[in-house]
Each structure stands twice: as structure tokens, then as C-alpha cells.
């Protein structure tokens, strides 16, 4: 996540922002937070603020719980999906 934030920092400049404005954003994340949904909301809010500031529409969100071992994705469905 830090690498993504660091790389997006370049686009906060008035010179660079036009090159990313309007590009679509999707959040895809493996998470294990079935019982801590408020922490998941903090994560989502953080990225929504970044994308809003960069004028990038958030098209979709996929968060997967209990994806800790190989093959577990196929046993679980997304715990949260929002547009």
C-alpha cells in the first residue's frame, strides 16, 4: 500500500494531475477482517479520499476475507463489494 501511495504522490502536482484525472480506480484487496468491519471502512475511506483528490472515479471495490492460504479464494466469496 505504501508503494501505491508513494507513486500516486507524483500526481498531486498541478503539472502531473491532468495525466491521471478521469482514469478509473478499482480497489482489490485480500483482507481477514470479518469481525473488524470498521477497520475495513477506514481502509476504504482512505483510498476513496486519495482517488477523489486525484479526480479518479472509483468504479468498484472487492475485498476478500480469509485469504491466507493458497486456494482459499476459491472457498470464499467477497466479503464486501460496493460501487
- pLDDT band per the 50, 70, 90 thresholds, residue 42: confident
Q: Give me the count of residues in the chain.
A: 83
Q: Where are the alpha helices (DSSP H) in 1-83?
A: 2-9, 37-53
pLDDT, residue 72, reads 67
Tens digits of residue pLDDT in 49-74: 999 999 999 999 887 766 667 776 66
Q: What is the pTM of this model?
A: 0.70
Is residue 55 within 8 Å of 19, Cβ to Cβ? no
Grid coordinates belonging to 61:
471495490
Q: How far apart are CA 34 and CA 47, in angstroms?
A: 19
Amino acid at each position: 500500500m505504501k508503494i501505491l501511495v508513494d507513486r500516486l504522490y507524483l500526481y498531486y502536482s498541478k503539472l502531473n494531475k491532468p495525466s491521471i484525472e478521469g482514469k478509473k480506480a478499482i480497489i482489490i484487496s485480500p483482507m481477514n477482517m470479518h469481525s473488524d468491519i470498521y477497520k475495513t471502512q477506514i481502509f476504504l475511506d482512505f483510498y476513496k479520499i486519495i482517488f477523489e483528490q486525484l479526480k479518479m472515479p472509483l468504479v468498484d471495490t472487492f475485498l476478500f476475507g480469509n485469504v491466507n492460504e493458497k486456494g482459499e479464494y476459491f472457498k470464499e466469496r467477497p466479503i464486501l463489494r460496493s460501487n
